[in-house]
Amino acid sequence: MARARVVPTWRISRIPRFPLPKHAPDVVWYGLLITGIAYVGFGLVRSAATTLSWEELSTAVGNGGLTLLRVVTLILLASVVWVPIGVAVGLRPKLTERVQPLVQFLAAFPANLLFPIVVFLIVRFDLTPKIWLSPLMILGTQWYILFNVIAGASAFPSDFREAAASFRVRPWRWWRQVMLPGIFPYYVTGAITASGGAWNASIVSEAVSWGPTKLSGSGLGAYIAQMTEAGNYPRIALGIAVMSVLVIAMNRLLWRPLYVFAERRTRLD
Amino acid sequence: MFSPNVGHGSIEKHAMATEATVPIMELSKVCMAFPKPSGEPLAVLSDIDMVLRQGEILGLLGRSGCGKSTLLRIAAGLIKPASGYVLYRGALLTGPAQGIAVVFQTFALYPWLTVLENVVLGLDALGLSLDEARRRAMSAIDLIGLDGFQSAFPRELSGGMRQRVGFARAIVNDPVLLLMDEPFSALDVLTAETLRTDFLDLWINHQLPTKAVLMVTHNIEEAVLMCDRILVLGSNPGHIAGEIPVLLPQPRNRLDAAFHAIVDEIYSVLTSRMAASIGVQSQIHGGMMQQLPELSINRISGFIETLASPAYGGHSELARIAAELGLEINELFPIAAALHILEFADLKDASIKLTAAGRVFAQSESEERKRLFREHLLRFVPLAAHIRQVLEEREEHHAPRERFEFELQDHLNRADAEKTLRAAIGWGRYAELFTYDDRTRTFSLDHVNR
C-alpha cells in the first residue's frame, strides 16, 4: 500500500548557532553562500539600477500577483475536485490498487504535449487567454493532490471508520470531523508539491505558442518566458527573483504552518 | 420491518406481550468467509446460533483468530454475514442501528477532537441541538468519571482515561445493547481492573440505560468476573465450542472456590478442543493442516524447565501456571499447543503434564536437548519431516520456500500458513534438520547433520 507521503523538497533547515565548533563546516558553507548571494545581488542591483526602473519592478510584482492568484485558485479548484474522489478511491483497497499506478502515470506524463490542443481550442472559440491558459499550470501537478489523498484515505485506521459507521455519524460531520482531519497531513503534502509544481509550470504555460500562433495570459511565468526569448538578462533575473520571493513566502507563511498544525493534530502521543 | 412468523394483525399485540421476552439480539446460522488469495472463500465463522437476553452480560471467549471480533462486528451491523441472519429486538439488522453502541479495543478516539467533541460525535445521529448535545455529553462524561477532562485531547490522556472516553461515547446515546471488543486488553493490569470494577458498579446499580452487553475477550478471569454467561469459541472456522453459565453473585471474588471451578471448566473446554484439533490436524492431509505456533526454543525450554521444577513436579493446572507466570491464554495456549504437538507434554482436563521425553529434556544438557528435539520434530511435525525429505530427495539438496508455502495454503489461510512455516523454520534450524536462507528464500541441507 502506498502509505509514504511525498516529502516536500524545499523545507528550510534551521540556521546553526555560530560559536559551536561542530558546526564549523556549516559556518563555512553559509559564509560562502552569503558571500555568493551578496556578490550576485550587488552585481544585479548595480546593473539593474542602470537598466531597470521602479516601474519595471512593479510590472514584475504585478505579474507575480496574477500568477499567485492563479496558483491559489487552481489549487482550491483541484482540491474541491480531487479530495472527494481521492477519499472515495482510497477507502476501497481494490480500486486503490488499480487507480494508483494510473495516477502515477498521469503525474509523469508531460502535460505540455496537450498545450497545442488548448491553443487550438482557445483560438477556435475565441476565448480569453488570461483565463483559459491558466488550467495548463495545474495539468501536470494536480495529480500530487489526488495521489496523496488516496494514500491518506487508505492509511486511515479501520477502527476510526468503524466507529463513525457504528455511531452513524451523518455525512456533513463525517467529512468535517472524521475524514478531512484524518487525511489533512497527506493533503497538505500533496498541495505543497502541486503548488510548487504549478509555479514552475507557469513559465511554460502562461505563454504558449503553436506554430505561428502565440498566446499570452500575462503573469510572472509569461513575463519570464518572454524575457528569456528576448535574451533580456536583467529582466529574467528580476522575474526569477520575484518568483523565488513569492514561492518562499507562500511556503513559510502558508504551507509550513499548515503542515506543522496537521502533524500536531493527528498525533496521538 | 421483519417480523418472523407473526400473522398480520397480531403484530402489535405480540410486540406488547413479548416486550420482556423478546431477546435483545438473536443470531441464527451466521456464517462468514473472507476470500483466500486464490479467490476461494475461507470460512472464519460457521453456523453461529446465539441469543442475547435482556439483563445479561454475555462473554465471547476464545483465542486470537477464532473470529470473535468478526462476530462482534456482525452484531454491530458493521459487517454483513455471508449467510444466516441477525435480529435486533425482533427486527432484522441490516446495518448499524440506533440503540447499539460499540466500545473498541484500540479506543478509536479521533486525536483531532477533544474529549467533549469525541463524545458528542456519538450523538450525531440523533440530530440534537448544540446545547442539548453538549448537556447530554457532559452528563455521560460525569457519569464515567471524566469531569474536568472535557477539553483535553486524547493524546493528553492515559490509556485508562482514553478508554473511559470510549465508554462515555458509547453510552451517551443511551444504547440498549453495548458491544465491547476486548475493551480492557490494551490497558495495564491495574488500570484494567479499575475500569472493570467501575463499569460493573454502574451496571449493577442500573445507572446505565443499557439492557444487555456482549463482550469479546481472551481473558478467562475477566470473563468469569464480569459475565453472566460465557460462550467459548473454537477456531478454524470459528464455532461455539461450549456455553458456561456463571451464576455467582456480584461482586465476585477471584479467590472463591466456585470462581476457580468455573475458570477450570473453561480451561478444560478450551484444552479438550485444542487437544482434539491437534490430533485431527496431524492425521489428515499428510499433516499439512497442522498449525504450528510461532514460538522460540527459549520459550519452549523455559516452560518445560518451569514445569519440571519442584514447585510443579511435572504437572500443573493451566489456570494455576497461567496465573503464576502471568500469562494470558493468548500466550499460554501457543506454548501448551507446541508442547502437546511435540509430545513433550500432554494436555488433559485443564491441566498440562510433562511426558517422559519432556522430563528427560528438562534434565539434559544442550546437545542432548537438540538431539531429542530433532527426534520429536521428525516424528510429530509432518511439515518439518516433509521439508527434510524433499531436501534429501533432491540432488542438490535445495528447495524454494514457495514450494512449501503453496502446499500449506491449500489447507490454511495465508497468515496461518506464513506463521506455521516460520515456526517450522525456527524449530528446524535449532534441531539442525535443515537450514534456510532468507535472502534467496531457499531451504537447504548445507552445514547440517545428514
Cα distance between residue A190 and residue A258, in whole Å:
12
Under DSSP, the state recorded for B53 is -
The architecture CATH gives domain A21-266: Orthogonal Bundle (1.10)
Q: Which residues of B touch A170 (CB under 8 A)?
A: 124-125, 127
Cell of A196: 510548487
Say what the pLDDT of residue B449 is.
65
Pair A85, A143: CB distance under 8 Å? no
What is the CB neighbour count within 10 angstroms for residue B82? 16
Cα distance between residue A188 and residue B378, in whole Å:
57
Split at pLDDT 50, 70, 90, the class of B87 is very high
Tens of pLDDT along B377-431?
988 888 898 899 898 888 888 899 988 888 888 777 777 888 899 999 999 999 8
Tens of pLDDT along B231-271?
998 877 888 888 999 988 888 888 888 888 888 888 888 88
Tens of pLDDT along B410-421?
777 777 888 899
Average pLDDT over every residue of B319-334: 84
Split at pLDDT 50, 70, 90, the class of B5 is very low
Cα distance between residue A9 and residue B48, in whole Å:
55
Tens of pLDDT along B112-135?
999 999 999 999 888 888 899 999
Q: Which residues of A touch B110 (CB under 8 A)?
A: 160, 177-178, 181-182
- Nearest by Cα to B198 from B245, B230, B160, B229: B160
Domain boundaries for CATH 3.40.50.300 within chain B: 19-269
Cα distance between residue A165 and residue A156, in whole Å:
14
Cell of B349: 482436563
Cα distance between residue B407 and residue B405, in whole Å:
5
Cα distance between residue A67 and residue A74, in whole Å:
10
Q: How far is B129 from chain A (nearest CA, A)?
A: 14
Cα distance between residue A157 and residue A268, in whole Å:
13
Residues B108, A266: C-beta atoms closer than 8 Å: no
Q: What is the DSSP string of B419-430?
A: HHHHHHHHHHHH
Tens of pLDDT along B270-295?
887 777 777 777 676 667 778 888 88
Under DSSP, the state recorded for B82 is S
Split at pLDDT 50, 70, 90, the class of B20 is low
Q: Is the ipTM of this complex over 0.90?
A: no
Cα distance between residue B105 and residue B185, in whole Å:
7
Does pLDDT of B302 surpass 60? yes
Strand partners, A208: A215
Residues B98, A168: C-beta atoms closer than 8 Å: yes
Angle in degrees, 0-180, between the axes of helices B297-308 and B356-363, rounded to the nearest 10: 100
Say what the pLDDT of residue B168 is.
93
Q: How far is B124 from chain A (nearest CA, A)?
A: 5
- Beta-carbon contacts of B138 under 8 Å, excluding residues fewer than 6 positions away, are B116, B150
Say what the pLDDT of residue B346 is.
87
Split at pLDDT 50, 70, 90, the class of B7 is very low
Say what the pLDDT of residue B25 is.
93
- DSSP SS3 for A268: coil
Say what the pLDDT of residue B162 is.
92
Residue in chain B closest to A163 (alpha carbons) equals B108
- Nearest by Cα to B239 from B445, B49, B3: B49
- Nearest by Cα to B277 from B319, B221, B238: B238
Terminal Cα-to-Cα distance of chain A (whole angstroms): 24
Q: Could you identify the residue written with the cell 481492573?
A: B193
Residues B122, A178: C-beta atoms closer than 8 Å: no
- Beta-carbon contacts of B274 under 8 Å, excluding residues fewer than 6 positions away, are B333, B336, B337, B340, B347
Tens of pLDDT along B63-83?
777 888 899 999 999 999 999
Q: Are strands B345-348 and B351-354 parallel, antiparallel or unpaired?
A: antiparallel
Say what the pLDDT of residue B291 is.
83
Higher-confidence residue of B101 and A137: namely B101
Q: Which residues of B touch A178 (CB under 8 A)?
A: 110, 121
Does pLDDT of B176 surpass 90? yes
Say what the pLDDT of residue B319 is.
84
Q: Among B78, B101, B121, whose Cβ lies nearest the Cβ of A169? A: B121
Q: What are the C-alpha distances in Å from A100 to residues A93, A96, A143, A191?
A: 10, 6, 10, 17
Does pLDDT of B11 surpass 60? no
CATH H-level, domain B19-269: superfamily: P-loop containing nucleotide triphosphate hydrolases (3.40.50.300)
CB distance from A164 to chain B under 8 Å? yes
Regions of chain A with pLDDT less than 50: 1-4, 6-18
Question: How many interface pairs between A and B have CB atoms less than 8 angstroms apart?
Answer: 68
